[in-house]
């Protein structure tokens, strides 16, 4: 693994997340810790189950930093496994349920876990690569020969804390990217990185009294960065197995939810629900958004109608650069993703690795105390993502393009790989998408580059129209191109019923491009 010095946090963490959660359980033993469906666990009950999972894994031969993989939907069992594995000193590998069997097989072959936890829902997905595995297989919610029963294994284990010593540089989790070709990249986080992120517990109100509703999958860093502070703060997590707007609103009202992490597409669906105004959401104190830019018009609507503050995070699973926009404090900056978080440095560079002048667009590079250890087993890929400044300090290259406004707020332009080069000129898809979304008949939009004999590449728009709209693709195209510069104009617009998205709401532009070209 490549060694580099991460940035310095505002305060050096004194405890690992494992120790913080251990302390939270003692402090709040009789208070509620985890709710999922009909399962309700106090901190005493959850702590005992965490110990049992840890001891069961140790009995299976798990040692510090050994990998433990999980392929499952959200559940109370998953949360127990997550926390139990880390208490055993293992490195958790939460596998994406959106990945293909082929990609999952490559992930597992890459990280060589000693244990795999699997739920019934994903047995078919796992079937193609299971015969190649030599590991302990644990069935979370089904029975099959050759598989250990999770509940039996957990309940027969010792309830005492194994007190495994864990170092800050030990591996905490390994999160794989959702690549579709080759071997997906494994992003390795250590205990130091996760401990640094716990600085947000008190400032964001996660200490003791928060009730956090999570509906995105536990394999996603989007979920983990809210799950862990709630747990380490000694508060209560409410897990949804699957996001449903009405059920989400019912839980907020019935459970007096105070905190939530959502992705932009979820905010859009919540605000568009016809019964939104019929629910009492007054308990909500803090709402967070990440994984993709939250549109300005949606931010404005959330601020107007959804109680509680709204904070948007921009950053990478790899760590490094993080910006924060407290939208309720800066309503005139909703077109931005905020300023660098405390302890974070961000630089913007050109294609030659030179910093760009103020106000110009460049690739976003970030440095902080919360930085990944590297891509698992891939020093070559890790090197590609590093940029070193004139003093020798290491920053992570994001692949995103952006610029700072006169007040130091970051304005995103596009993914570097999504930038369209037409006739030798750079076109940022995000700029074109904003123009399309300004059309009152358009509710969703994406722009991709497609081959052009004349220009090399040309922008193509995909839009979803509002219900009842009478305009056609030609009308949308004409209105958009009237507002765009000559070099930016769209070659065409395609109307779709919906745009393909990942489980955490990112538009899958590669799918749009592939479908169009085929």
CATH architecture of the domain 419-517 equals 2-Layer Sandwich (3.30)
- Return the HEC string of 367-390: ECCCECCEECCCHHHHHHCEEECC
Give ∠ CA 171-177-180 in degrees, rounded to 5. Answer: 145
CA distance 279 to 391: 54
Architecture of the 342-414 domain: Roll (2.30)
Each domain of the chain, given as residue ranges in start order, spans 17-30+41-196, 342-414, 419-517
Mean pLDDT (the chain) is 94
Distance CA 173, CA 169 (A): 12
pTM above 0.85, yes or no: yes
419-517 matches 342-414 in CATH topology: no
DSSP-assigned letter for residue 294: P
Helix axes 43-59, 76-87, angle to 10 degrees: 60
Amino acid 182: pLDDT: 56
pLDDT for position 427: 84
pLDDT of 301 > 60? The answer is: yes
Measure the CA dihedral 150/154/155/161, to 10°. -170
Q: Is the domain covering 17-30+41-196 a CATH 3.40.50.980 domain?
A: yes
What's the pLDDT at 398? 93
Task: Determine the Cα–Cα distance for residues 496 and 473; give it in Å rounded to an integer.
Answer: 10
pLDDT of residue 179: 47
Extended strands (E) in 223-308? 236-239, 259-262, 286-289
CB 423 within 8 A of CB 456: yes
In this prediction, residues 145-174 reach a mean pLDDT of 98
**Region 270-295 average pLDDT:** 95
Residues 452-467 have pLDDT tens digits of 887 888 999 999 999 9
pLDDT at 178: 60
Q: Is the pLDDT of residue 287 over 70?
A: yes
Residue 237 has pLDDT above 90, yes or no: yes
Question: Average pLDDT for residues 8-26, to the nearest whole number?
Answer: 95
pLDDT on residue 425: 72
Sequence-separated (6 or more) residues with CB below 8 Å from residue 259: 204, 205, 206, 210, 211, 212, 213, 226, 230, 235, 284, 285, 286, 287, 288
Q: What is the pLDDT of residues 51-84, one digit of tens each?
A: 999 999 999 999 999 999 999 999 999 999 999 9
pLDDT band at 293 (very low <50, low <70, confident <90, very high): confident
Q: Give residue 302's pLDDT.
A: 98
Q: How confident is the model at residue 516 (pLDDT cuts 50, 70, 90)?
A: confident
Distance from chain centroid for Cα 487? 34
Per-residue pLDDT tens for 318-350? 999 999 999 999 999 999 999 999 999 999 999
Which of the 8 DSSP states describes residue 481?
H
Q: Residue 444 — φ and ψ, nearest 5°?
A: -155, 145
């Amino acid at each position: 693994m490549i060694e580099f010095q991460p940035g310095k946090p505002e305060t050096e963490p004194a405890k690992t997340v494992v120790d913080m959660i251990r302390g939270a359980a003692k402090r709040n033993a009789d208070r509620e810790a985890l709710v999922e469906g009909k399962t309700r666990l106090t901190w005493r009950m959850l702590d005992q189950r965490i110990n049992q999972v840890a001891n069961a894994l140790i009995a299976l031969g798990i040692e510090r930093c050994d990998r433990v993989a999980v392929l499952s939907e959200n559940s109370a069992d998953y949360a127990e496994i997550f926390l139990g594995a880390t208490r055993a000193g293992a490195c958790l590998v939460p596998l994406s349920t959106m990945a293909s069997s082929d990609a999952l097989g490559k992930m597992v072959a890459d990280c060589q876990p000693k244990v795999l936890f699997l739920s019934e829902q994903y047995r078919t997905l796992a079937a193609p690569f299971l015969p190649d595995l030599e590991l302990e297989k644990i069935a979370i919610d089904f029975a099959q020969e050759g598989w250990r029963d999770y509940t039996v294994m957990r309940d027969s284990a010792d309830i005492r804390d194994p007190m495994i010593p864990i170092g800050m540089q030990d591996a905490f989790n390994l999160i794989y990217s959702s690549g579709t070709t080759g071997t997906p990249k494994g992003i390795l986080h250590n205990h130091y990185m996760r401990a640094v992120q716990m600085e947000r517990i008190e400032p964001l109100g996660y200490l003791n009294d928060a009730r956090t509703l999570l509906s995105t999958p536990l394999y996603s860093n989007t979920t983990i960065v809210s799950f862990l502070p709630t747990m380490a703060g000694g508060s209560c997590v409410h897990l949804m197995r699957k996001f449903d707007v009405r059920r989400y609103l019912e839980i907020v009202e019935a459970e007096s939810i105070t905190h939530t992490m959502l992705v932009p597409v979820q905010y859009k669906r919540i605000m568009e629900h016809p019964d939104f105004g019929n629910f009492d959401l007054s308990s909500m104190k803090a709402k967070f958004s990440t994984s993709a830019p939250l549109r300005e018009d949606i931010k404005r609507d959330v601020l107007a109608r959804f109680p509680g503050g709204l904070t948007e995070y921009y950053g990478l699973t790899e760590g490094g650069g993080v910006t924060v926009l407290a939208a309720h404090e800066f309503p005139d900056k909703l077109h931005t993703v905020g300023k660098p978080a405390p302890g974070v440095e961000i630089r913007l560079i050109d294609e030659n690795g030179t910093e760009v002048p103020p106000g110009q667009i460049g690739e976003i590079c970030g440095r902080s105390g919360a930085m990944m250890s590297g891509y698992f087993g891939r020093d070559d890929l890790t090197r590609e993502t590093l940029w070193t400044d004139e003093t020798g300090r290491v920053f992570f290259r994001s692949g995103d393009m952006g610029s700072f406004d006169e007040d130091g707020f970051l304005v995103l332009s596009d993914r570097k790989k999504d930038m369209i080069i037409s006739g030798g000129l750079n076109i940022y898809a995000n700029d074109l998408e904003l123009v399309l979304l300004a059309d009152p008949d358009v509710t969703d939009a994406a722009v991709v580059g497609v081959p052009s004999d004349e220009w090399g590449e040309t922008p193509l728009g995909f839009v979803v129209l509002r219900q009842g709209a009478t305009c056609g693709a030609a009308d949308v195209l004409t209105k958009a191109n009237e507002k765009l510069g000559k070099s930016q104009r769209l070659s065409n617009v395609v109307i779709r019923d919906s745009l393909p998205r990942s489980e955490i709401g990112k538009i899958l532009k590669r799918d749009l491009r592939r479908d169009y070209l085929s």
